[in-house]
Structure 1
Amino acid sequence: MHLYYDDSGSAAAAAALFLILIPIFLFIALIGYVISSFFLMKIFEKAGVQGKWRAWVPVYNSLVFAKLGDFSPWVFLGTIVAGGILGNIPVLGFIFALLPLAAMVMISWRVGAKLNKEWYYLLLWILGIGVYIWYGILAFTKDRWNPAIAPAPWANSFLADKTVWDGIPVQPSAGVAPGHAAPAPGYQPAPGGYAPPVGTVPPAPPAGTFPPAPPAGTVPPAPPAGPVPPAPQDPDAPRV
């Protein structure tokens, strides 16, 4: 009988502790989400992404981040779903559970390279809050966004990003169809974003293109004043 009461008391204490810890964990998760979303918003601004709201939508902000890292957002979403479902398989489940992490490392390496950060910055992830430190470094250092880097090793595989979303600049190494290579209409790079290198020559106009005609009534400028040439002399006139 005493054992029954002891077990009941332990279960009640565990349940009370669980109810106390749930709000604490939720609060910590909320703080982490706000911090990471704020840092992502700053990174998106550097990359020229239109709309700050994109950084605050769960899951979607990760898909935008994947596109900036030259990784297909749909493949990345597939790794998240596969990791959540297949991760419960005995023995081999942990391999599937690591798929989202592996994809995120690849994406983050590319995003860091476009902000002039070496790969070893990702070692900060080993720390408990290192991922937030890494986000903060990308968000607040003065390095400008430069997508003109070497193509990703997976550029010719199914992992490469070939999607086009309005408001998100197409990366040069994305390999999308020629008709979609330009950014969305009205796109303007964010202040402090990537600028083409000095000495870049603009593309030549298509064949048959003529410069615009001057407006009607425009008078061409007069030639500059100069010395008046002497009048021709008559050879039969008497010389003085």
Structure 2
Amino acid sequence: MDSYGDSTALAAAYLIAALTWFIFAVVFYVLGSLFLMKIFEKAGVEGKWRAWVPFYNVMIFLKLGDLSPWLAFGFLLTWVPFLGWLVGIAMAVLMVLAAWRVGLKLQKSGAWVVLYIFLSIVWLGINAFDKSRWNPNIVPASWAGNGFLADRTVWQGIPVQPSAQAPAPGYGAPQGYQPPAAQGYA
């Protein structure tokens, strides 16, 4: 047997494996975008196109999960040698936190996040097509006030989460305070 035949068979096997991987990647991307489109629709996000833009849809998902959407840029650091796998783990944790918060807003218990961890595409599909409604009035997360993870961005077409709303100006009135009655000039 000649070495040319062996290398041709090996190249064909690599080509078939690459083509199979590409087809799976396209199918998962289309399904994920379709499911995100439905979840964004439930959340009141304007424009179905937002779910189909590769990096932007992750930013919106983080924002709906009460995390700063700018944290999505951490995915760019996963290409750095040695540091990449640490950042990858941190980004996976952030996505799980966002999924937990989105699940709570879609009337799911916290245990549903386990499904997201192991089968995120199934979690997205269930949340996209079940009869749950979006409830933005969930108690804000502990990181939602101040800090690195807090969401303080306001984008047109994306509803502002209660934790991201700016506080009212001023100090506010003390409890039980009644302003004096207005008196006119005599």
TM-score, normalization by structure 1 = 0.65
1:81 to 73, 76, 85: 76
One-letter amino acid of the counterpart of residue 15, structure 1: A
Q: Deviations over 1:79-108 (max 9, x none)?
A: 2112232xx21xx65322212111100111
One-letter amino acid of the counterpart of residue 94, structure 1: W
2:10 to 14, 23, 28: 14
Give the equivalent residue in structure 1 for 2:31. 35
Q: Write out aligned runs for 1:80-119 (5 A).
A: 80-85=75-80, 88-89=81-82, 93-119=84-110
TM-score, normalization by structure 2 = 0.82
One-letter amino acid of the counterpart of residue 23, structure 1: L
Larger Rg computed on CA atoms: 1
Q: Deviations over 1:124-148 (max 9, x none)?
A: 2454xx2111001111121211111
Give the equivalent residue in structure 2 for 1:162. 152
Q: Write out aligned runs for 1:1-240 (5 A).
A: 5-6=2-3, 8-77=4-73, 79-85=74-80, 88-89=81-82, 93-125=84-116, 127=118, 130-155=119-144, 156-176=146-166
Distance 2:121 2:7 in 1: 37
Distance 1:102 1:29 in 2: 22
Q: Measure how far apart 1:21 and its partner are.
A: 2.0
Indicate conservation of the 8 Å contact 1:124/1:131, yes or no: yes
How big is the alpha-carbon RMSD for the aligned residues of Structure 1 and Structure 2? 2.1
Identity percentage over the alignment? 49
One-letter amino acid of the counterpart of residue 164, structure 1: V
Distance 1:163 1:46 in 2: 20
Residues 1:135 and 1:28: Cα distance change in structure 2 (over 3 Å)? same
Structure with greater helix share of residues: 2
Paired positions, count: 169
**Partner-residue secondary structure (3-state), 2:143:** coil
Q: Deviations over 1:175-204 (max 9, x none)?
A: 43659xxxxxxxxxxxxxxxxxxxxxxxxx
Residues 1:56 and 1:177: Cα distance change in structure 2 (over 3 Å)? farther
Indicate conservation of the 8 Å contact 2:96/2:117, yes or no: no
**Partner-residue secondary structure (3-state), 2:151:** coil
In structure 2, runs of 5+ residues without a counterpart are: 170-186
Q: Which runs of 4+ in 1 moved over 6 A?
A: none
Q: Deviations over 1:43-97 (max 9, x none)?
A: 11111110111111111111111111111111222x2112232xx21xx653222
Indicate conservation of the 8 Å contact 1:80/1:99, yes or no: no
One-letter amino acid of the counterpart of residue 166, structure 1: Q
Q: Deviations over 1:110-160 (max 9, x none)?
A: 100101111221222454xx2111001111121211111111121121111
One-letter amino acid of the counterpart of residue 170, structure 1: V
